Amino acid sequence: MKRATTQELKTFFESLGTDYDLRAPVKLHDGTRVLGGLDEGPLALEGGKIPQKPTSVFFPQFDEVFMVSKDGQFHAAEPVKKPIFVVGFTAQDLDCLEFIDKFFSENYRDDIYFNKRDGAVLVGVSGKCGKDGEFLKIAGGKCDIELISDGECFIVHPHTDKGKALVESLKASECGCGGVKMETLKEESDALPKDDEETIDKASELIRAGKVPDDFWNEIATRCIACTSCNLACPTCTCFEVYDREQDGKMVRQRIWDSCQLDGFMREASGHNPAGLQMQRTHRRIHHKLAADVERWGHRTCMLCGRCDDVCPTDIGIKSVCKEIVERYS
Amino acid sequence: MKRTLTTCPYCGTGCQFYLLADDNGRLVGVEPSSTHVVAKGQLCVKGWNAFNFPNHPDRLTVPQIRKDGKLVEASWDEALDLIASKLKETQEKHGTDSIAFFSSAKTTNEENYALMKLARAVFKTNNVDHCARLCHSSTVVGLAGTFGSGAMTNSISCVEETDCILVTGSNTTEQHPLIGTRVINAVKGGTKLIVADNRKIRLADIADMHIRWENGTDVAFLNGLMHVIIKEGLADDEFVRTRTENYDELKTVVAEFTPERAAAICKITPEEVVNAARMYATAERAMIIYSMGITQHSHGVDNVKSCANLAMLTGNVGKTGTGVNPLRGQNNVQGACDLGALPNVYTGYQKVVDEASRAKFEKAWGVENLPGNVGLTVTTAINAAFDGELKALYVLGENPMMSDPDQHHVKAGLDKLDFLVVQDIFPTPTTALADVVLPAACYAEKDGTFTSTERRCQRVRKACDPPGKARQDWDIVGDLARRMGYDGLTYNSPKEIMDEITEVTPIYGGMHYDRIDQVGLQWPCPDREHPGTPFLHKGTFKRGLGLFSPAPYKPSMELPDDEYPFVLSTGRCYFHFHTGTMTRRSRLLDREERFPYIEIHPDDAKRLGIYDRFPVMVSTRRGEVKALARVSDIVIPGHLFMTFHFEEGAANVLTNNALDPVAKIPEFKVCAAQIKGAS
Amino acid sequence: MSVMTKTIAEETGGQIYQPLLCKIGSKRVLTPLETLFRIELPEGRELGHRPGQFVQVSILGYGEAPISISSSPTRKGYFELGVRNAGTLTGAMHELKEGDKIGIRGPFGTFFDAEKLAGKDLVLIAGGCGLAPMRSLIQYCEDRPSEFGKLTILYGAKTPGDRLYKEDLVEWGNSNTFACNYAVDGVPDGACFDEGQVGLITVLIPPLSLDVQNTVAVIVGPPVMYKFVIAELKKKGLTEEQIVVSLERYMKCGVGKCGHCAIEHLYCCIDGPVFWLNEISGIRGAI
Ligand SMILES: Cc1cc2nc3c(=O)[nH]c(=O)nc-3n(C[C@H](O)[C@H](O)[C@H](O)COP(=O)(O)OP(=O)(O)OC[C@H]3O[C@@H](n4cnc5c(N)ncnc54)[C@H](O)[C@@H]3O)c2cc1C
Ligand code: SF4
Ligand code: SF4
Ligand code: SF4
Ligand code: FES
């Protein structure tokens, strides 16, 4: 396997720019890390997960559903000009993406999502490149290429044929350790604490067993200001709102991220609202991922990426709520 | 994709985020700044949706001139020439002070500076004001009188470093959401919270004490607290002795406000007064957070001064985690005040009556004879128009038809004008009355700075082009000045304007763009090296000694009676901003509140046969509007609450134009109303 | 879980969000608030729906809304929508004229499954607007009475003036296929009502004589109605396996993506709107 420096990777990514629409972790003006173009700031593979949901590459905050020109003709959303090549998914992010791939394809296939998703190349990032030196879990798959940091360089591990073919043009030396390095890194990855998983699974069990009373949800709900950040940052949140807007004489049907934390999310035209209390909405936020989706998809759909805990201004992201559930009700 | 770091156009919290524009230059999203001191990677729902209105098809895109009663498309030359000649003509005929300018708390510091310079240097009038008149003019007057500076004394971060917070007249989680969350977190961490507000706001749910006084009895309550504090020996004697003056008068005035008397006026219990006094006064560090519930009264200045008195009495000024903290409503209302869009001061609160200040600005601007009389305010200008004294008005980014009290009166005033210019981003009820409408760039389409409620001056950056022929406000103002024969308002960029501002404004002396590139600085920041000032009045007050300014209790101007038995109070909701021009054109925000509504207590509703979500007619002595009833115990019996976001159910048809005698702020929070079911 | 019926999306190249423009064949005013629209697909094609399904109706510039199909697939050459003027889109729809085009996506959702109902006695209980989707089933039964046992229709509305499909109600009442019992909550001054009882729809249930073993009840109505009607039916001895309901939720996409219609793990648009009561009985907030 190849072992590449950040500079070598950067050169590699740049060389792909003609064939792909490249998105990689870059550091912006004020230090915020985003999935952006290499022209937006220095490549910043280190630092852990990107604060924004990485799935926004395929399911952005705003999207065109279709457009109707002045002559009344329908035009489907334009397919992307170049396939997307995205670097920077953590193992948890890849789990999230795997789920929303399934979500958007099952039953009816969401053509707008797959417009961007089809043909995309995914590059995962793991190893010793987390925030403040934290070790990021090795995904071991679910992406085309995985970049595993050994603290100095990245071991470049292609997981798919497409990944292998692409990596051939990467100019970097062979690792040459005979797989020893990977072994130790894998061991380190396997030894990562599983506290979060245990807590959330326990909380999921308690919720499904009906052990968490309404009073609890009420109490959490008094702290929610309906800022919608938790939903908007979550890689497995997929809800959207649809509306029509005229633009330059054309009528564009558009969709934007929506949030189940808003009162209007389920309010019907009559005014009737099955989720008219903040308590019901707080309950839904957690219950959906930890109980409803378990029922529907066979697994929880929170992959513990940690974003909702980071963005919630009052500290009631899913991890902290689960911790409290486990402390109080098990 | 292009990402541009800029500042939120809504509340005064001043969160920064990146605006995302696609390859066609259309805004497609928002990403919070994860390093920003206040936002910390978070935003409220308004911030998250701030990309959604700039490309709304309703945007004004071409100048319009009224011809034969109708607004028709015109060129910039035509429009600006007409404005120049009309304003000149009006002044020649009716005197220099027959025209007035309304600036805007929505536009940048640079643009506020440009407009007030236009008024003063070119048109030689101090008739320039903006909507701070309607929200915090009582703060500016009240705190300047007591402390010597009319701004929030401390920083937002202080909320996390205090032991007790008194929130009064501020629905913090809805109007300053990310400051509200700091309060929630502080309480979780053990900070005591007193909410003195008769609405059951979200913070009331977690408060140690929720005091639901009668609207308008603020002074009685605060005097009651001070009475208890003095009587029980809880005052900070050392602070009072060394840092303040006029204590004896305070003692005399509050002496009669026994808990029993205060409670009787406020319709609460004496225990509430005593307990609140003890909770606030015994805290190691205590802070007061207030907003329009304190300021928008005919006794708004008294309210503000009483807050200041309370803080001084307990030594809670000049340290972290303390202070008197008015939360400024708009993104740049602080800046508009700082930059002198006020009838009595130049930038940095340098007084126009002061000859030395005038001389300084005459020199800086290369003009002579700057006027020394204090000009008209937003509220008195409307009255002057009504009385026929004001003949022409230039409104930049304001919507007085909906934001000012007593809409019928405003309309009558504007109708009497010979000439009305409105420069805005969307059509509003005010542009509908204008003789000339100029299309302006919105926050996402320009460079400049906004100053947040914590006096933090931050960069605003252009993320996309303005639609059609719309132009930036500073550029329009400069063009008009040239047509008036003045070149001193011709700039290449807002940066040049800021450089000029730093020259003439001591408190902004160090606010150069290169210094606030990533993180904004808090004024006073007098020079290039100065790190900015997180909290004011450390060691000594701006005015030297803090001046105790006790006030007696004065009832509100219009109290309920048999004909109008309810107290009507007005304000905002979480999802909309002011007159709704932007938020009602942002899909998600619009969906949340689509119709005008009025809150009424279940007991009152039951008695009057009013049902939730059913239409009602609300009336006062000034007019009536239709709204949907929201039956809820958020309000107390006998009280109604309505928002002023909706053109089709405009609360300001109802409100009372009674003004505070000093600050000229209208009494938006109390008037007498009647409500009945409608079909 | 859900069965996906074939939609007309195939006509738009698999683009599930793109509506097909269809012609308004005719318009009939039902009440001051409600109008019946007869819609024709291009080139005389059939929608291919089953009773109880809905379509997403688009008017460009106004958006989209779910509307139940109010006619039975046994009536060929068109389908009908009974629409209440409730806001932006439905208001704009009322302004449209015969011959105007509207966008249609669908048919979506689960349906009243004729196979599972075959041979049963059916009690069809509709409240207010709920008669719109119920009508597709009633018409189906009308056209194929031999597939079912005894057919009973119960319909309740707020006032006589609010009753939908008044002509149909009379016709069904006169036909031998159905036993019809109607009610109104109240009769305003000046109006009269002699076609049934005054009272909530629940008053119509106790007098019914049912073959409890062989009966299925179908309920469609406003949210408040379900709890009370179900309670009455249970008193009669019906079990949750014998009750079918159709639920309404705020819907944006109709295809299980936008999330607005979710009731716990079920998406009302693809797993519903038609549910057997036992499928949703444990679910909070479903009824
Ligand atoms: C399965 C199903 C079947 C139905 N069948 C029927 C039927 O057969 N007949 C019938 O009459 N009705 C039916 N309905 C109800 C119908 O869908 C609603 O009445 C319709 O959606 C109302 O849409 P509107 O745009 O007219 O109303 P509005 O109240 O204007 O809009 C509906 C919702 O859209 C949002 N919205 C609309 N405009 C805006 C805006 N400008 N900004 C932000 N948000 C906005 C609001 O949140 C509102 O709650 C059915 C509903 C469902 C779920
Ligand atoms: S941790 Fe939060 S943001 Fe991340 S997947 Fe779970 S719920 Fe979503
Ligand atoms: S991030 Fe926190 S405060 Fe914001 S909506 Fe989610 S739970 Fe509520
Ligand atoms: S808290 Fe205020 S500044 Fe921050 S995002 Fe919300 S509206 Fe904007
Ligand atoms: S309507 Fe969109 S998921 Fe059901």
The nearest CA of chain A is from the CA of C149 a distance in Å of 34
Instruction: Check residue C4 and give its pLDDT.
Output: 60
pLDDT in tens, A280-302: 999 999 999 999 999 899 999 99
Please state the atom number of ligand 3 nearest to the C-alpha of residue A226. Answer: 5
- Check A274 against C223: CB less than 8 A apart: yes
Instruction: Check residue C2 and give its pLDDT.
Output: 47
CA distances from A119 to A19, A81, A84, A86, A125 (A): 12, 11, 7, 11, 20
pLDDT in tens, B146-164: 998 888 888 888 999 999 9
Pick the ligand that lies closest to the CA of residue A314: 3
Instruction: Please check whether the domain covering B64-134+332-502 is classified as CATH 3.40.50.720.
Output: no
B472 secondary structure, DSSP code:
-
Of A40, A225, A313, the CB nearest to B202: A225
Q: Report the alpha-carbon distance of residue B652 to residue B656 in Å, rounded.
A: 8
Q: Per mean pLDDT, which range of A40-49, A246-255, B106-115 is the poorest?
A: A246-255
Mean pLDDT within A261-265: 94
**DSSP alpha helix (H) spans, chain A:** 6-16, 91-105, 111-117, 161-167, 180-190, 195-208, 214-221, 229-233, 278-287, 293-297, 307-311, 318-329
Mean pLDDT within B668-677: 89
In the predicted structure, residue A41 carries a pLDDT above the cut 80: yes
Tokens of B71: 């607004």
Tokens of B298: 């005919």
Pick the ligand that lies closest to the CA of residue B40: 4
Instruction: Check residue B566 and give its pLDDT.
Output: 93
C154 contacts C126 by C-beta, under 8 angstroms: yes
Q: Report the alpha-carbon distance of residue B180 to residue B160 in Å, rounded.
A: 11
Burial pattern C66-99, b for ≥16 Cβ within 10 A else e, equals bbbbbbbbeeeebbbbbbbbbebbbebbbeeeee
Q: Which residue from B minimizes the CA distance to A257?
A: B588
Q: Report the alpha-carbon distance of residue B277 to residue B226 in Å, rounded.
A: 7
Mean pLDDT within B511-534: 92
Percent with pLDDT over 90 in chain B: 77
Instruction: For residue C160, give the nearest of C199, C186, C132, C125 by alpha carbon.
Output: C186
- Subunits touching A (CB < 8 Å, at least 3 pairs)? B, C
Instruction: Check residue C14 and give its pLDDT.
Output: 67
Look-up of token digits 């209390």:
A277
Provide ipTM, 2 decimals: 0.95
A275 secondary structure, DSSP code:
T
CATH superfamily of C8-108: Translation factors (2.40.30.10)
- Chain centroid to CA C164: 12
pLDDT in tens, B199-232: 999 999 999 999 999 888 999 999 999 999 999 9
Instruction: Check residue C3 and give its pLDDT.
Output: 54
Q: Report the alpha-carbon distance of residue B214 to residue B523 in Å, rounded.
A: 36
A307 contacts A252 by C-beta, under 8 angstroms: no
Domain ranges of chain B: 2-55, 64-134+332-502, 137-327, 566-677
pLDDT in tens, B553-604: 998 888 899 999 999 988 888 899 887 888 989 999 999 998 989 999 999 9
In this structure, which amino acid lies at residue C170?
A: V
CA quadruple B156, B159, B162, B165: dihedral positive or negative? positive
> Ligand 4 centroid vs A171 CA: distance in angstroms?
46
The nearest CA of chain A is from the CA of B329 a distance in Å of 18
- Check C262 against A240: CB less than 8 A apart: no
Nearest CA to ligand 4 atom 4: B15
Q: Per mean pLDDT, which range of B637-641, B655-659, C82-86, C143-147 is the poorest?
A: B655-659
Domain ranges of chain C: 8-108, 114-280
Q: Is B397 exposed, middle or buried (0-12, 13-18, 19+ CB in 10 A)?
A: buried
Instruction: Check residue B434 and give its pLDDT.
Output: 95
Q: Is B371 exposed, middle or buried (0-12, 13-18, 19+ CB in 10 A)?
A: middle
Q: Report the alpha-carbon distance of residue C22 to residue C24 in Å, rounded.
A: 7
Write out residues in chain C with pLDDT < 50, as ranges. 1-2
CA quadruple B243, B247, B253, B256: dihedral positive or negative? positive
Average pLDDT of every residue of chain B? 92
Non-local (6+) Cβ contacts of B42 within 8 A are A227, A229, A311, A312, A313, B15, B32, B178, B181
pLDDT in tens, B376-402: 998 899 999 999 999 999 999 888 888
Question: How is B364-407 classified by DSSP, letter by letter?
Answer: HHT-S----S----HHHHHHHHHTT---EEEEES--HHHHSS-H
Q: Is the CB of C261 under 6 A from ligand 5?
A: yes
Q: Which residue from A minimizes the CA distance to B178?
A: A313
Mean pLDDT within B304-323: 93
B663 contacts B140 by C-beta, under 8 angstroms: yes
Mean pLDDT within B68-84: 95
Residues of chain C with C-beta less than 8 angstroms from the C-beta of A295 = 264-265
Pick the ligand that lies closest to the CA of residue A221: 3
Given pLDDT bands bounded at 50, 70 and 90, which one contains residue A173? confident
> Ligand 4 centroid vs B197 CA: distance in angstroms?
22
Chain A contacts in chain B segment 520-539 (CB below 8 A): none
Please state the atom number of ligand 1 nearest to the C-alpha of residue C109. Answer: 1
Q: Is the CB of A314 under 6 A from ligand 3?
A: yes
- Chain centroid to CA A214: 30
Mean pLDDT within A72-76: 82
- Side-chain half-sphere of A184: how many Cα atoms within 13 Å? 9
Of B56, B206, B587, the CB nearest to A222: B206
Q: Report the alpha-carbon distance of residue C134 to residue B664 in Å, rounded.
A: 62
The nearest CA of chain C is from the CA of A253 a distance in Å of 8
**Whether B597 contacts chain A with CB within 8 A:** no
Instruction: Check residue C1 and give its pLDDT.
Output: 39
CA distances from B53 to B44, B174, B493, B592, C182 (A): 16, 20, 25, 15, 50
Nearest CA to ligand 4 atom 6: B44
**Whether B41 contacts chain A with CB within 8 A:** yes
In this structure, which amino acid lies at residue C199?
A: G
pLDDT in tens, B464-497: 999 999 999 999 999 999 999 999 999 999 999 9
Which residues, judged by CB distance below 6 Å to any ligand atom, belong to the binding site of ligand 1?
A: A 264, 267-269; B 587, 590-591; C 54, 65-68, 82-84, 86-91, 129, 132, 248-249, 251, 273
Mean pLDDT within A17-31: 94
The nearest CA of chain C is from the CA of A259 a distance in Å of 9
Q: Which CATH number fits domain C114-280: 3.40.50.1000, 3.40.50.300, 3.40.50.80, 3.30.450.20?
A: 3.40.50.80
Given pLDDT bands bounded at 50, 70 and 90, which one contains residue B126? very high
Instruction: For residue A77, give the nearest of A95, A58, A50, A92 by alpha carbon.
Output: A58
| Secondary structure class of B267 (helix, strand, coil) | coil
- Check A296 against C223: CB less than 8 A apart: no
Instruction: Check residue C11 and give its pLDDT.
Output: 60
Q: Report the alpha-carbon distance of residue C239 to residue C216 in Å, rounded.
A: 9
**Whether B283 contacts chain A with CB within 8 A:** no
Instruction: Check residue B18 and give its pLDDT.
Output: 96
* B209-211 β-sheet, strand order: B209-211, B192-196, B164-168, B286-290, B323-326
Question: How is B541-568 classified by DSSP, letter by letter?
Answer: BTTBSEE---------SS---SSS-EEE
Q: Report the alpha-carbon distance of residue C144 to residue C148 in Å, rounded.
A: 8
Q: Which residue from C minimizes the CA distance to A242?
A: C252
- Subunits touching B (CB < 8 Å, at least 3 pairs)? A
Residues of chain A with C-beta less than 8 angstroms from the C-beta of B56 = 245
**Whether A32 contacts chain B with CB within 8 A:** yes
Which contiguous run of DSSP H or E holds residue B79?
Answer: helix B76-94
Instruction: Please check whether the domain covering B2-55 is classified as CATH 2.20.25.90.
Output: yes
**Whether B36 contacts chain A with CB within 8 A:** yes
Mean pLDDT within A11-32: 94
Cβ neighbours around A205 below 10 Å, total: 16
Tokens of C47: 């929608």
Which contiguous run of DSSP H or E holds residue B501?
Answer: helix B494-504
Question: How is C254-285 classified by DSSP, letter by letter?
Answer: SSS-S-TTEETTEETTTT-SEEEHHHHTT-TT
Instruction: Check residue A107 and give its pLDDT.
Output: 85
A116 contacts A58 by C-beta, under 8 angstroms: yes
How large is the C-alpha radius of gyration of chain C? 18
Q: Report the alpha-carbon distance of residue C264 to residue A290 in Å, rounded.
A: 11
Non-local (6+) Cβ contacts of C32 within 8 A are C161
- Check B36 against A225: CB less than 8 A apart: no
Largest CA distance in chain B: 72
Confidence (pTM)? 0.94
Q: Which residue from A minimizes the CA distance to B171?
A: A225
Q: Report the alpha-carbon distance of residue A210 to residue B510 in Å, rounded.
A: 60
- Check A311 against B18: CB less than 8 A apart: no
CATH code for residues B137-327: 3.40.228.10
Tokens of A202: 């326990």
Which contiguous run of DSSP H or E holds residue B19?
Answer: strand B16-21
A162 secondary structure, DSSP code:
H
Instruction: Check residue C10 and give its pLDDT.
Output: 64
**Whether A242 contacts chain C with CB within 8 A:** yes
The nearest CA of chain B is from the CA of A178 a distance in Å of 40
Class of domain B566-677: mainly beta
Q: Report the alpha-carbon distance of residue B109 to residue B100 in Å, rounded.
A: 19
Q: Report the alpha-carbon distance of residue A58 to residue B596 in Å, rounded.
A: 38
Question: Which phi and psi angles does A182 have, rounded to 5°?
Answer: -60, -40
Which residues, judged by CB distance below 6 Å to any ligand atom, belong to the binding site of ligand 2?
A: A 96, 233-236, 289, 302-308, 317-318
Question: How is A81-126 classified by DSSP, letter by letter?
Answer: SS-EEEEEE-HHHHHHHHHHHHHHHSSS--HHHHHHHTT-EEEEEE
